[in-house]
Chains A and B, each alone.
Chain A
């Protein structure tokens, strides 16, 4: 066949395309399961487990903001939660809220005075049907089999869909690198990086070694943590003997944090 410039260009073009396509094809052919090496692993022998973890907060035991501080500080300290003065950059795992903001659907203009001025301790509700889990496009937020709504920070892309989805404001976004804003770092727990969302993890790392959550430990009995699906548990006993409320139940998220009022 007689060669022409036209033919030469055609062949060159097709060859270049073929060469550039191989890495793409290789990537598609890669078996994803190869990336996750099979390993032998077990939970630690001290780990405490439940079908569905939940918490009961006895608000009658708190009178002022001061009473909530030890719990907030205990949590924020061990989890390396930074202190950012700018409200718009604030990171919080557990914090204090007024009744009208914590329970907007129960508030009315004649609400009794004790409740009106009582400080409420709020945190992630670890919902039964968590909207944040549904909203997360990367499965960075997921529901663990024991009911804890947990985050895999490695996988968070910082889209903040979960923050929009959460009706409790339990999630915070790291607009800045948090490291400079952590006073004394707990070296046993990682910090977060700029661009990821974070929230309460029900102290998954402490349950794994048989400890109660840090806030519960610091609460002197006002917070009780346990298995909601075990009728013998302390939380179930409290729920049976006390009138309790939950936050924004009508939304159907099924919060696992109960308040005795």
Chain B
């Protein structure tokens, strides 16, 4: 029985041409986003600082840290303010800051379109902060 099963005829590939053409077409279509966008990478955005932010020189934490961890900071600020009533943040160099996205972060960074949105759009993230927090406390 097993001999019958494994004889030469059984191992022959049927419709070789069509199958291989099919696989090639599939791979080309599957990889479409890669070859279509090849060499067209969008430049890394440079968020712009307002005059107020420039004058302050440093954010609540060093720039590199803020760049990668601002969402974690905001998350713990929220928990601290809402759940534990602690509204003052003491940073790594012992300075105190009011933990408020609306009244502190967005007071310096009052240019949401040039500051927040630039990177968020590039990274294709859509945080819902601004559904509630008013993005420009000073103007409008």
Are A and B physically bound partners?
Answer: yes
Residues of B contacting A190 with CB < 8 Å?
102, 132-134
Whether B137 and A193, one on each chain, are in contact in the complex, defined by CB atoms closer than 8 angstroms, is no
Residues of B contacting A193 with CB < 8 Å?
128, 131-132
Is B90 an interface position by the 8 A CB rule? yes
Is A159 an interface position by the 8 A CB rule? no
Nearest neighbor of B77 in chain A, beta-carbon distance: A39
Residues of B contacting A187 with CB < 8 Å?
102, 134, 136-138
Interface size on B, residues (CB 8 A): 32
Among B30-38, B49-57, B78-86, B117-125, the stretch that binds chain A is B78-86
Whether A39 and B85, one on each chain, are in contact in the complex, defined by CB atoms closer than 8 angstroms, is no
Shortest Cβ distance from B51 into chain A, in angstroms? 19
Is B108 an interface position by the 8 A CB rule? no
Nearest neighbor of B85 in chain A, beta-carbon distance: A43
Shortest Cβ distance from A153 into chain B, in angstroms? 7
Is A188 an interface position by the 8 A CB rule? yes
Among B15-23, B40-48, B67-75, the stretch that binds chain A is B67-75
Whether B73 and A188, one on each chain, are in contact in the complex, defined by CB atoms closer than 8 angstroms, is no
Whether A189 and B87, one on each chain, are in contact in the complex, defined by CB atoms closer than 8 angstroms, is no
The A contact surface, by secondary structure, is loop
Nearest neighbor of B106 in chain A, beta-carbon distance: A187
Is B88 an interface position by the 8 A CB rule? yes
Shortest Cβ distance from A210 into chain B, in angstroms? 12
Is B89 an interface position by the 8 A CB rule? yes
Contact with B along A177-206 (1 / 0, CB 8 A): 000000001011111110000000000100
Is A47 an interface position by the 8 A CB rule? yes
Contact with B along A40-81 (1 / 0, CB 8 A): 111110010100000000000000000000000000000000
Whether B86 and A42, one on each chain, are in contact in the complex, defined by CB atoms closer than 8 angstroms, is yes
CA distance A2 to B76 in the complex (A): 58
Whether A208 and B87, one on each chain, are in contact in the complex, defined by CB atoms closer than 8 angstroms, is yes
Is A9 an interface position by the 8 A CB rule? no
Residues of A contacting B103 with CB < 8 Å?
188
CA distance A256 to B113 in the complex (A): 45
CA distance A49 to B85 in the complex (A): 10
Whether B85 and A144, one on each chain, are in contact in the complex, defined by CB atoms closer than 8 angstroms, is yes
From B72, B89, B128, B134, A41 is in contact (CB under 8 Å) with B89
Residues of A contacting B134 with CB < 8 Å?
185, 187, 190-191
Nearest neighbor of B100 in chain A, beta-carbon distance: A188
Whether A36 and B75, one on each chain, are in contact in the complex, defined by CB atoms closer than 8 angstroms, is yes
CA distance A193 to B130 in the complex (A): 9
Is A175 an interface position by the 8 A CB rule? no
Shortest Cβ distance from B103 into chain A, in angstroms? 6
Residues of B contacting A152 with CB < 8 Å?
78, 82-83
Whether B88 and A35, one on each chain, are in contact in the complex, defined by CB atoms closer than 8 angstroms, is no
Shortest Cβ distance from B109 into chain A, in angstroms? 14
Is A88 an interface position by the 8 A CB rule? no
Is A150 an interface position by the 8 A CB rule? yes
Whether B76 and A37, one on each chain, are in contact in the complex, defined by CB atoms closer than 8 angstroms, is yes
Whether A41 and B90, one on each chain, are in contact in the complex, defined by CB atoms closer than 8 angstroms, is yes
CA distance A35 to B78 in the complex (A): 13
Is A168 an interface position by the 8 A CB rule? no
Residues of B contacting A10 with CB < 8 Å?
none
Contact with B along A120-149 (1 / 0, CB 8 A): 000000000000000000000010111000
Shortest Cβ distance from A73 into chain B, in angstroms? 20
Known contacts A191-B134, A193-B131, then 15 further A-B pairs from the complex at CB < 8 Å, ordered by chain A residue? A37-B72, A37-B76, A39-B89, A40-B90, A41-B89, A42-B90, A43-B87, A144-B83, A145-B85, A152-B78, A187-B134, A187-B138, A188-B137, A192-B132, A204-B85
8 A-B pairs, CB-CB below 8 angstroms?
A35-B75, A37-B72, A40-B89, A44-B88, A144-B83, A187-B134, A190-B102, A191-B134
